């Protein structure tokens, strides 16, 4: 893995530093990685011209081993971002070719403005940044997410729904599963519906409350009681026009929780039926996180011996 390491090969302390950074990066030890960057920020900033340069040995191996080349780039950018967050933007600016300020500096400015309650100014900074990065899905999604939070803080639910929806769409287009932005979008939609004060919004609130109650009952081992709550929700949907069932959006969650309850109470055949229904519902809705959760649960159910413990994965929270 040494070819991932920036810095001169003959500089022992520098190589030791980047070896430690690489190890923390691969291990997912964010705290250790941040500590190393902060503790060595002076040296990293002073020598940024050297370690931000791609070593010649890596350029030569790019075609036959592109993953090693990319691993070097990911490590280098992460170090630069940590320095940027610590108020030393020069390395990130050098890597990204940015102008006066890096995008991370601008995001940080927006965060400071939001924390100070300057939401209009925060929104102005974010919209300007969105204009610069609209062609980059990852950055645009991040900015839309922050704009959604900003709008929610000013009680502008229409804008919150718009920006959360855009962020969710970009995440899905990039192949990312259900994210925190998806939850933000659902919350904003529910809040907007409740504010409208329609009978549909009341049913939606009651539906979410019932699912929460069913989850609590399940967590307390009252599986039959939990399933009774869920069955009532499903039965109520049979008496409303198509598209007006408030539980419709949560069918995957409802089916999955019923499957989990049956499994924990020892009824594996019923658990398989309901978990398979949850899986199909999530596939229909293109909810990739739900698909992963319920496929794992179904594999556990199909492969479990009688009396085995419940699947470790939990259904997504509505």
Host domain of residue 73: 2-96
Residue 312 placed within a domain: no
> Does residue 208 lie within any of the structural domains?
yes
- What is the domain-level CATH number for residue 159? 1.25.40.10
Between 279 and 100, the higher pLDDT residue: 279
- pLDDT over 50 at 285, yes or no: yes
Q: Are residues 224 and 172 in the same domain?
A: no
Position 38 scores a pLDDT of 92
- The answer to whether position 30 is within a domain reads yes
Instruction: Assess whether 146 and 92 both reside in one domain.
Output: no
CA distance 128 to 139: 13
Q: Which tens digits make up the pLDDT trace of 208-219?
A: 888 889 999 999
**Total tally of structural domains belonging to the chain:** 3
- Residue 223 has what pLDDT? 94
155 and 207 together in one domain: no
Q: What is the pLDDT of residue 11?
A: 53
Same domain, residue pair 262 and 187:
no
- Residue 316 resides in a domain: no
Say what the alpha-carbon torsion angle 260, 265, 268, 269 is, to the nearest 10 degrees. -90
pLDDT tens, residue by residue, 109-158: 788 788 777 888 889 989 988 887 777 788 888 899 899 988 888 888 88
Residue 262 in contact with residue 277, Cβ under 8 Å?
no
**Which has the higher per-residue pLDDT, 271 or 309?**
271
Question: Both 190 and 203 in a single domain?
Answer: no
Q: How far apart are CA 52 and CA 50, in angstroms?
A: 6
Domain boundary, last residue among 174, 195, 216: 195
What is the predicted pLDDT for the residue at 274?
95
Confidence check: pLDDT of 50 > 50: yes
Residue 313 lies in a domain: no
What pLDDT band is residue 313 in, cutting at 50, 70 and 90? very low
Claim to verify: residue 152 and residue 82 sit in the same structural domain: no
pLDDT in tens, 55-112: 667 666 655 666 676 677 778 888 988 998 888 888 887 776 554 456 777 787 788 7
Residues 83 and 156 occupy one common structural domain: no
Q: What is the pLDDT of residues 13-46, one digit of tens each?
A: 778 898 899 999 989 898 999 999 999 999 998 8
* Confidence class for position 267, pLDDT limits 50, 70, 90: very high
pLDDT in tens, 226-256: 999 999 988 887 766 666 666 677 888 899 9
Answer yes or no: pTM beyond 0.75.
Answer: no
Q: Are residues 250 and 318 in contact, defined by beta-carbon separation less than 8 angstroms?
A: yes
The pLDDT assigned to 24 comes to 92
**Per-residue confidence (pLDDT) for residue 178, from 0 to 100:** 57
The pLDDT, as a whole number, for residue 62 is 52
Q: CA–CA separation, 262 vs 285, rounded Å?
A: 24
Which has the higher per-residue pLDDT, 176 or 28?
A: 28
202 and 294 belong to one structural domain = yes
Q: Is position 264 within any domain? A: yes
**DSSP sequence for 199-259:** HHHHHHHHHHHHHHHHHHHHHTT-HHHHHHHHHHHHHHHTTS-TT--TTGGGHHHHHHHHH
Question: Are residues 158 and 222 both part of a single domain?
Answer: no
Of residues 137 and 269, more confidence is placed in 269
Residues 87 and 140 in one domain: no
Q: What is the pLDDT of residue 265?
A: 93
| 147, 65: one domain | no
The answer as to whether 308 is a domain residue is no
Residue 243 shares a structural domain with residue 275: yes
- Which of 96, 131, 160 terminates a domain? The answer is 96
Residue 219 lies in a domain: yes
Last residue of a domain, one of 44, 67, 96: 96
Of 154, 153, 184, nearest in space to 169 by CA = 184
């Amino acid at each position: 893995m040494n070819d991932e390491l920036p810095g001169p090969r003959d500089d022992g302390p520098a190589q030791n530093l980047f070896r430690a950074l690489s190890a923390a990066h691969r291990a997912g030890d964010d705290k250790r990685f941040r500590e190393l960057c902060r503790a060595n920020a002076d040296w990293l900033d002073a020598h940024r011209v050297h370690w931000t340069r791609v070593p010649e040995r890596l350029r030569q191996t790019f075609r036959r081993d592109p993953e090693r080349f990319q691993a070097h780039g990911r490590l280098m950018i992460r170090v630069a971002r940590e320095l940027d967050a610590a108020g030393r933007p020069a390395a990130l600016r050098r890597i990204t070719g940015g102008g006066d300020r890096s995008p991370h500096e601008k995001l940080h400015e927006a965060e400071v403005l939001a924390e100070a309650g300057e939401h209009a100014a925060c929104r102005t900074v974010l919209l300007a940044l969105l204009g610069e990065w609209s062609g980059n899905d990852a950055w645009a999604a991040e900015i839309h997410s922050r704009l959604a939070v900003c709008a929610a803080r000013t009680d502008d639910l229409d804008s919150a729904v718009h920006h959360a929806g855009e962020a969710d769409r970009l995440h899905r287009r990039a192949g990312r599963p259900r994210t925190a932005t998806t939850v933000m979008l659902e919350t904003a939609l529910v809040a907007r519906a409740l504010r409208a004060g329609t009978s549909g919004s009341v049913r939606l609130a009651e539906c979410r409350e019932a699912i929460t109650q069913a989850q609590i009952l399940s967590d307390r081992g009252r599986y039959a009681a939990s399933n009774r709550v869920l069955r009532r929700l499903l039965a109520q949907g049979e008496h409303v026009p198509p598209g007006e069932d408030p539980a419709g959006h949560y069918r995957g969650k409802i089916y999955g929780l019923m499957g989990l309850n049956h499994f924990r109470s020892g009824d594996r055949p019923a658990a398989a039926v309901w978990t398979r229904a949850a899986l199909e519902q999530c596939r229909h809705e293109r909810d990739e996180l739900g698909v992963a959760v319920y496929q794992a649960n179904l594999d556990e159910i199909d492969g479990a011996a009688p009396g085995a413990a419940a699947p470790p994965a939990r259904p997504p929270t509505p």
